[in-house]
Structure 1
Amino acid sequence: MTVSLRAPARLSCLALALVLAGCATAPQGPVTINIVAINDFHGNLEPSRYVPANADGSKAEAIRAGGIENVAAALQAWRKEDKDLLFVASGDLVGASPAMSSLWADEPTIEAMNMLDLRASAVGNHEFDAGRKELLRQQNGGCDSPRPNKACQMSKDFRGAKFTWLAGNVLDSATGKPFIPAFRIETVKGVKVGLVGVVLQDTRSVVMASGIAGLSFEDEAAAINRAIPEMRSQGADVIVALVHQGGNTTDHPLQPGCANLKGPIVDVVKKLDPAVRLVLSGHTHQGYLCTVDGRTVTQGASYGHLATRVSMTVQKGAGAPSDIKVENVLMKAGDYPADEKMVAYVAKVKESSRAALNRPIARLAAAPVLRKQNDAGEAPLGNLIADAVLAATRNMGARIGFMNEGGIRKDLEAGADNVAAFGQAQAVLPFGNTLVVMDLTGAQIRRILENQWHEGSTGGSMLQVSNGFSYRWDATRPVGSRVVGMLLDGQPIEDAKTYRIVANNFLAEGGDNFPDFAKGSNRLETGLLDLDAFTDYLRANEGQGAALAPASPRIIKVQ
């Protein structure tokens, strides 16, 4: 039997079909894509010290800011404004992390980022700190780790990052192709957003060679440009570059439109395909909202201190955004309602970490190891730490290690049988400082030592020095000319000669009135924590007493 429709019904169906067809083919109007970016989080689950800039560029009073709970609270509030908000990062999410994350191979930070629905991050140089194998494990999950004492110790079922690390310029030498994805495409409000990530080309100079064996690091801009045609073929309407390379500027970190950006990121941006209008950068731990050759280039400081908000107007098919607005927002407690799930998660990690702090590290030859200095300014614990930081960086060329007196907060104590626990070691070095290797001339080293008795000081702020280096000083001589001799491995230090040294990042920035550290050349920001160097050295020298009672003094007071 054939059933026919009456004419009016046929016309109604035809009209409906035409309307539906028109809806399917009508061009989509411009939409607003909201992005939030962070960079250089470094596993800082808890807030940390941040010094804001005043409007005139001067430094304001230090505050506590950043940390995962503050970032989570802000994201929760902003997603109420736009449920399609896209959360991304520009590298160094992990590595050089405080104990609460590093104790667990940075798995808590990865889990926290999963909870915040992070979608993609450029890989940073510190993601290679434990080698390519560990980076792949952190991405894909599992417990086969080069750090078996840390991996899968909090959760036995670590499933890896739900977000994607991107590294278009890191190639597997065997295949010539990126060893992890170059890009990821996210559909937001019907628009396909292509996220392409790269790490600084000079990564090889700032990570251990063994950790990146078989990998090559290519030009950042060339890698981004190479990925664009493939991203377009997969429908990308707009391209956003996540670049773990940065610069610096004297402009205020919260002021959009700066035109004074300097550093490697500027050269990268200038070589990019015109389709790339937004570059979210990292690595230099600076805050800026700049314009380079008509492109928007941002960075949000570090440790979650600033979050970068981006609002892009995008017309599907246009190929690039028509308008980009950016702001850096300070992440501090109380500005947004708390994300209770994140609060509970951080509390859980803290509780687990407290137990881990009791984990034994090594048996000491004698305990406690004292930080109290003798009349010349030398302390057993100071010797031990200076030797430890030197041992951790000898393969980077360091020959002399320095440690500031004020950075040693407690004696190194131990429990039964003189076994020191991790918490006891952390109490000695609680600041989470990282190690910086640099070149200094003999004359600069002399000035640094002379600054131990700077004008106006009530006493000395004595630096602790590593084995093999020694100096003599005369208290009867005027300030500025007290050092009367310096030796390295038995040979006199020459003023015009260059020496490779290591110090923590506080000293390296000229802290404790030692400005010549900040003038060092060929600087290498190792990302190694002084605490990790210390505990590794204790393990390697378990039970030995040489560092506690050196054969000869390193600091000699002659009068």
Structure 2
Amino acid sequence: MKPALRTLALAAAIAMLAGCASQRPSNHLVDINLVALNDLHGHLEAGKFTYNGGLFGRQTTVKAGGIDTIAAALREWRKEDRELLLVGAGDMIGASPAISSMWADEPTIGALNMLGLKATSVGNHEFDAGRIELLRQQKGGCNSPRPDKACKFSATYEGAKFNYLAANVIDVVTKKPLLPAYEIVEAHGVKVALIGAVLKDTPSVVLASGIAGLSFEDEAQSINRVLPELRAQGVGVFVVLVHQGGRTESAFDKQDCSDLQGEIVDVVKRLDPAIRLVVSGHSHKGYLCRVDGKLVTQAEMGGHMLSRIKLTVDKAANTVRSVSARNVVMQPNWYRSVPEVDAYLKKVKQRSEQELARPVARLGAAIISRERHDGDESALGNLVADATLLSGRPFGAQIAFMNVGGVRANLESNAAGFATVGHAQAVQPFGNTLTVMNMTGAQIKTLLEQQWVGDKAQSRGLLQLSEGFTYQWDPKQPEGSRVVAGSVMLHGVPLEDGASYRVAANAFIAAGGDAFPEFAKGTNRANTAVRDIDSLTAYLIKCEQDRKPAGSATAQEPRIQRLK
């Protein structure tokens, strides 16, 4: 062989050996594929999804979601990886459309079983009907605190085939977690720990009686606490599923955004460095952000999108090498349908349609909006507060309050101009009963000031007010002094600090929920046993009977006046 050829051959051999050496570690690398879903809220059908960044960067509205669309996408993705893991970050149920809520959300649990959900963190809305109902929904059976809804979709209910996880929800009597803190799954020969947690402030956003005896502990501390136990079982790959969220100005599909803000950021920063992926929820925002080297994802809400996540794992070292993700909008007809899921959705709709289509009362407008004027009050918020006052009057109610978060959708009418049972239940899906209590004028003023503690007014909105109750507020004043002195009035008469007034509200905020602790100080409390949905429908019927259909009134003076 000529010297030149020998040199080339030697160089090629060295290059081949070097190539083998560089490839050898890759033999230990494996991709673990996950799909994440959060805040489904029982949205079994597709709905509208509006986002920025469409054609030419414009705001775009598309039809997205639905369990049929999600099932079709998952089937295709599982063809790429049969060991794909479907996981969730809470609020799969609760605050649901009537098609799910009228059946105690059992159709949604059934749909998630069909989709192959592996595990999900519990969310605050899973506690809407209390711990007993949550455990029933997990384990199955018909012994429910909601006998009018449970086991009415089917004669039996088998429960969830997936696990709800919550490392930070502790039974104060047993000192043990109410639900499993984690679940260990295996994919491509790698043990993966799915660790669940829910926001520690859950007691401020759910009915107090439903979570009596439970302690909601710090999210990061609770998650970190289980890592030694997991490592002892040979786990080195950790995926956090946490129902806590943040906000960002970045687009939902922007890779590695760096401007994430909110409660989730502090939680992530305090997590063990070995945790590289955090699947979040609660804030209904789509994002793919990096915080201290960790990827933090969220997939909006209602099944409008799914997060496709890839963990590259070094099997030899039992560690995560890299994490990447993208958010995919679930637009119908992108994938071939799954007949059994289509048939299931059709069955749910048929079982629901007759009851949901029953007319309640004629409206004076096609839509009564929950959109708040200047961010303060809405036509629908006022209407619900008026309905609460009407139902509370037999118990002496003079003033009624409604929290913005309890008004879940616009009130719409059908083609004939009637609001139906389905329309009403979409507005008020919780089934809260109404409470009437005594509060002094001074307590009511304190209550109003609690609207601006921290960023609560921005994140949760101002309380909606019943007819005849008005006040002014000044955004230029410091927290605690924003209600204008002398402006709080009932039918034009200033409230007296020492006088007592009868106040009506749903049981959730009446117990101090939504961070309004002043409500909990009310005395001489009466549980009316009237459900919020029944209150709303009774009010709509009365308006029609009085020949003043809801929504037909001309513009009225605002009940909340913001000084400029």
**Same fold by TM (over 0.5)?**
yes
Contact 2:167 2:222 in 1 (8 A): yes
Rounded Cα–Cα distance in structure 2 between residues aligned with 1:549 and 1:539: 15
- Paired position in structure 1 for 2:284: 285
Q: State the Cα distance separating 1:263 from its structure 2 match.
A: 0.6
- Paired position in structure 2 for 1:488: 490
Q: Indicate how the Cα distance of structure 1 residues 210 and 339 shifts in structure 2: closer, same or farther if over 3 A, else same.
A: same
Contact 2:170 2:214 in 1 (8 A): yes
Rounded Cα–Cα distance in structure 2 between residues aligned with 1:187 and 1:443: 47
Paired residue secondary structure (1:309)? strand
Q: State the Cα distance separating 1:30 from its structure 2 match.
A: 1.9
Rounded Cα–Cα distance in structure 2 between residues aligned with 1:64 and 1:58: 18
Paired residue secondary structure (1:352)? helix
- Paired position in structure 1 for 2:469: 469
Kindly provide the amino acid, as one letter, of the partner of residue 536 in structure 1.
D
- Paired position in structure 2 for 1:261: 260
Q: Indicate how the Cα distance of structure 1 residues 190 and 349 shifts in structure 2: closer, same or farther if over 3 A, else same.
A: same
- Paired position in structure 2 for 1:516: none
Kindly provide the amino acid, as one letter, of the partner of residue 488 in structure 1.
L
Q: Indicate how the Cα distance of structure 1 residues 487 and 333 shifts in structure 2: closer, same or farther if over 3 A, else same.
A: same
- Paired position in structure 2 for 1:536: 534
Q: State the Cα distance separating 1:320 from its structure 2 match.
A: 2.6
Q: Indicate how the Cα distance of structure 1 residues 491 and 300 shifts in structure 2: closer, same or farther if over 3 A, else same.
A: same
Rounded Cα–Cα distance in structure 2 between residues aligned with 1:409 and 1:151: 27
Paired residue secondary structure (2:260)? coil
2:80 pairs with 1:53: no
TM-superposition CA deviations, 1:298-345 (whole Å, max 9, x none): 111111111001111112352431011111111111211112211111
- Paired position in structure 2 for 1:193: 192
Rounded Cα–Cα distance in structure 2 between residues aligned with 1:315 and 1:382: 54
Q: State the Cα distance separating 1:386 from its structure 2 match.
A: 3.2
Rounded Cα–Cα distance in structure 2 between residues aligned with 1:95 and 1:271: 29
Q: Across the two proteins, how many residue pairs are aligned to each other?
A: 447
Greater shift in the superposed pair: 74-83 or 60-69: 60-69
- Paired position in structure 1 for 2:412: 409
Q: Indicate how the Cα distance of structure 1 residues 266 and 143 shifts in structure 2: closer, same or farther if over 3 A, else same.
A: same
Q: State the Cα distance separating 1:533 from its structure 2 match.
A: 6.4
Paired residue secondary structure (1:257)? coil
Q: State the Cα distance separating 1:536 from its structure 2 match.
A: 2.9
Kindly provide the amino acid, as one letter, of the partner of residue 70 in structure 2.
V
Rounded Cα–Cα distance in structure 2 between residues aligned with 1:55 and 1:541: 41
Rounded Cα–Cα distance in structure 2 between residues aligned with 1:215 and 1:540: 35
2:134 pairs with 1:138: no
Which sections of structure 2, spanning at least 5 residues, go unmatched? 1-24, 367-378, 394-398, 432-445, 453-463, 472-486, 497-502, 507-513, 518-529, 558-564
Contact 2:314 2:321 in 1 (8 A): yes
- Paired position in structure 2 for 1:110: 109
Which sections of structure 1, spanning at least 5 residues, go unmatched? 1-25, 362-366, 373-379, 415-419, 445-463, 472-484, 495-499, 504-520, 525-531
- Paired position in structure 2 for 1:426: 422
Paired residue secondary structure (1:44)? coil
Q: State the Cα distance separating 1:146 from its structure 2 match.
A: 1.1
Kindly provide the amino acid, as one letter, of the partner of residue 223 in structure 2.
I
Paired residue secondary structure (1:229)? helix
Paired residue secondary structure (1:201)? coil
Rounded Cα–Cα distance in structure 1 between residues aligned with 2:539 and 2:427: 23
CA-atom RMSD in angstroms = 4.6
Kindly provide the amino acid, as one letter, of the partner of residue 412 in structure 2.
R
Rounded Cα–Cα distance in structure 2 between residues aligned with 1:267 and 1:57: 35
- Paired position in structure 1 for 2:31: 32
TM-score by length of 2: 0.69
Paired residue secondary structure (1:62)? strand
2:80 pairs with 1:78: no
Identity of aligned residues (%): 47
Rounded Cα–Cα distance in structure 2 between residues aligned with 1:231 and 1:289: 27
Rounded Cα–Cα distance in structure 2 between residues aligned with 1:411 and 1:338: 30
Contact 1:369 1:548 in 2 (8 A): no
Kindly provide the amino acid, as one letter, of the partner of residue 195 in structure 1.
L
Paired residue secondary structure (1:51)? strand
Kindly provide the amino acid, as one letter, of the partner of residue 537 in structure 1.
S
Q: State the Cα distance separating 1:441 from its structure 2 match.
A: 7.3
Q: State the Cα distance separating 1:535 from its structure 2 match.
A: 2.2
Q: State the Cα distance separating 1:206 from its structure 2 match.
A: 0.5
- Paired position in structure 1 for 2:520: none
Q: Indicate how the Cα distance of structure 1 residues 547 and 489 shifts in structure 2: closer, same or farther if over 3 A, else same.
A: farther
Q: State the Cα distance separating 1:412 from its structure 2 match.
A: 13
- Paired position in structure 1 for 2:122: 123
Kindly provide the amino acid, as one letter, of the partner of residue 422 in structure 2.
Q
Q: State the Cα distance separating 1:62 from its structure 2 match.
A: 1.5
Rounded Cα–Cα distance in structure 1 between residues aligned with 2:314 and 2:151: 45
TM-score by length of 1: 0.69
Contact 2:194 2:240 in 1 (8 A): yes
Contact 2:137 2:160 in 1 (8 A): yes
Contact 1:402 1:465 in 2 (8 A): no
Q: State the Cα distance separating 1:466 from its structure 2 match.
A: 2.0
Q: State the Cα distance separating 1:157 from its structure 2 match.
A: 1.5
Paired residue secondary structure (1:332)? coil
TM-superposition CA deviations, 1:12-45 (whole Å, max 9, x none): xxxxxxxxxxxxxx99822111000010010000
Rounded Cα–Cα distance in structure 1 between residues aligned with 2:60 and 2:334: 18
TM-superposition CA deviations, 1:336-374 (whole Å, max 9, x none): 11122111110010000113326799xxxxx767669xx
Rounded Cα–Cα distance in structure 1 between residues aligned with 2:78 and 2:233: 27
Matches within 5 A, 1:174-213: 174-213=173-212
Contact 2:127 2:211 in 1 (8 A): yes
- Paired position in structure 1 for 2:230: 231
- Paired position in structure 2 for 1:355: 354
- Paired position in structure 2 for 1:479: none
Q: Indicate how the Cα distance of structure 1 residues 177 and 412 shifts in structure 2: closer, same or farther if over 3 A, else same.
A: farther
Matches within 5 A, 1:303-452: 303-316=302-315, 318-357=317-356, 385-388=384-387, 399-401=400-402, 407-410=410-413, 424-427=420-423
- Paired position in structure 2 for 1:68: 67
Q: State the Cα distance separating 1:389 from its structure 2 match.
A: 5.5
Q: State the Cα distance separating 1:491 from its structure 2 match.
A: 3.1
Paired residue secondary structure (1:240)? strand
Paired residue secondary structure (2:146)? coil
Kindly provide the amino acid, as one letter, of the partner of residue 469 in structure 2.
F
Rounded Cα–Cα distance in structure 2 between residues aligned with 1:234 and 1:138: 29
- Paired position in structure 1 for 2:474: none
TM-superposition CA deviations, 1:535-558 (whole Å, max 9, x none): 2315889998999699xx99978x
Q: State the Cα distance separating 1:492 from its structure 2 match.
A: 3.5
Rounded Cα–Cα distance in structure 1 between residues aligned with 2:382 and 2:292: 51
Q: Indicate how the Cα distance of structure 1 residues 402 and 103 shifts in structure 2: closer, same or farther if over 3 A, else same.
A: closer
Q: Indicate how the Cα distance of structure 1 residues 536 and 187 shifts in structure 2: closer, same or farther if over 3 A, else same.
A: same
Q: State the Cα distance separating 1:408 from its structure 2 match.
A: 4.4
Greater shift in the superposed pair: 37-46 or 541-550: 541-550
Rounded Cα–Cα distance in structure 2 between residues aligned with 1:443 and 1:219: 24
